[in-house]
Amino acid sequence: MPVPLQASPARLWTDIDALSALREPVAPGWTRPFLSPSFVRSRGWVAERMRAAGLEASVDAALNVIGVWPGMSPRRPALMTGSHTDTVEGGGRFDGVAGVVAAIEVVRLLQEAGLALERDLVVVDFAGEEPNAFGLSCVGSRALSGQLEERHLALRDPEGTRLDDALAAAGGDPAAATRLGWQPGSIAAFVELHIEQGPILEAEGLDLGVVDSIVGIDRCAVELRGRPDHAGTTPTRLRRDALCAAAPLITWVESAADAHGLGTVGAITVEPGSLNVVPAAARLGIELRSAEEGWLDRTRAGLEACAREAAERRGVDAVLSWQEREPPVHCDDDVREAIAQAVRDGGLTPRRMASGAGHDAAMIAAVAPIGMLFVPSAEGRSHAPQEWTDPEHLARGTEALARTLLALDGGSTAA
């Protein structure tokens, strides 16, 4: 018989609501970006909530908030859970936050049920999961998985400030942050609860999703260079119009999408950007996402061919600069099954799905078996102020997270 566990929707909502008050005042929605004043204040708030729930909490060199609920056999590899509480500009109240408040609620409800774990339970609020001005996402989980390197710390924001200087100014310790990595084998499993950020669970009337894989991401900057000419005197056949060369690329990226992957042109700039000048340069920001490396390879090659052809036809130059790929990550079979069973034990149907968004779990996968649990997003909205997850759904997810951790602990012990 599964242990009866009851998470409190009211307690979960109280924490989400209180944390949402920490935000940048002039920005839209709920904006709490990495290293902003509200982000720095949120470190203390989260640590305090962890302590109130009985965790030993501290802020590490990368500004992760780490809470430890000591187990009965602390020498065994630990269990880890958590997510992030930083947001995108104009974001919502639930992305990442749901997984942090749920992790703290798990400790409360296990204690209320008179249960203790054999292993230490490490609850993490990962610093800087969202992309930031330095062009680096998942800063905290990168550090905890030993993947934060000198070259990352040397990245600069548009004002020219280095990431290590900004991290130090916010109270972090950049040199120490590169040495935070957990050793493979020291984490028995990492489980992240997160909002779905898509419409599937709500559309199918299901409460909880179990993630199979997290998509890999290729990002590319395409620069097309033509020639500025007078828009009133230069006949069309004599122009080298960089923006017209960009047009077929935009629709090619859209048409490359199929059941295995998605492509988006999310940014475009044009030079000189005047109504009476033929565009001399067009820059596109392109993103490809798929759980299959083969799809990413094929689509990348197709995009390069399309850019070459479009450039040749218009007599412009095309330069493609690819960022380092974020490879797809597959969830661990045993962790995934533990999550699915925990969902079934709560009387619900687990919906297997891929995550189209990147997550801290993808970083932690370098040092630990990982799994993810999704709770529904109303109308699939995310990265917008309208983001919403019913606290009742979050409570069901929290209970499933607690049951998952009990199962992965290898048997619970009455406290």
Q: Which is nearer to Zn ion, 83 or 178 (CB)?
A: 83
Q: Which residue is nearest to Zn ion (CB)?
A: 96
Instruction: Tell me if 95 contacts Zn ion by CB under 5 A.
Output: yes
Could you identify the residue written with the tokens 């919403």? 388
Which of these ranges, 94-102, 140-148, 262-270, 387-395, lies near Zn ion under the rule CB under 5 A? 94-102
CB of 194 to Zn ion, least distance (A): 6
Q: Which is nearer to Zn ion, 164 or 387 (CB)?
A: 387
Q: Which is nearer to Zn ion, 242 or 401 (CB)?
A: 401
CB of 223 to Zn ion, least distance (A): 30
Rounded to whole angstroms, the Cα distance separating 231 from 276 reads 5
Rounded to whole angstroms, the Cα distance separating 106 from 110 reads 6
Residues 106-125 that bind Zn ion (CB under 5 A): none
Rounded to whole angstroms, the Cα distance separating 153 from 156 reads 8
Q: Measured at the alpha carbon of residue 160, what is the angle toward residues 362 and 216, in degrees to the nearest 5?
A: 20
Q: Which is nearer to Zn ion, 15 or 95 (CB)?
A: 95
Size of the site for Zn ion (CB under 5 A): 2
Which of these ranges, 89-97, 174-182, 322-330, 337-345, lies near Zn ion under the rule CB under 5 A? 89-97
Q: Measured at the alpha carbon of residue 367, what is the angle toward residues 362 and 370, in degrees to the nearest 5?
A: 50
Distances (CA, A) of 202 to 383, 389, 415: 17, 10, 38
Q: What are phi and psi of 267, to 5 degrees?
A: -145, 145
First to last CA, the chain: 19
Other C-beta atoms closer than 10 Å to the C-beta of 192 total: 32
Which of these ranges, 87-95, 141-149, 317-325, 378-386, lies near Zn ion under the rule CB under 5 A? 87-95
CB of 95 to Zn ion, least distance (A): 4
Residues 326-355 that bind Zn ion (CB under 5 A): none
Q: Which of 91, 96, 350, 369 binds Zn ion (CB under 5 A)?
A: 96
Q: What are phi and psi of 412, to 5 degrees?
A: -90, 165
- Amino acid (one-letter) located at 386: Q
CB of 159 to Zn ion, least distance (A): 26
Instruction: Tell me if 82 contacts Zn ion by CB under 5 A.
Output: no
- Which residues of this protein are in contact with Zn ion, per CB under 5 A? 95-96
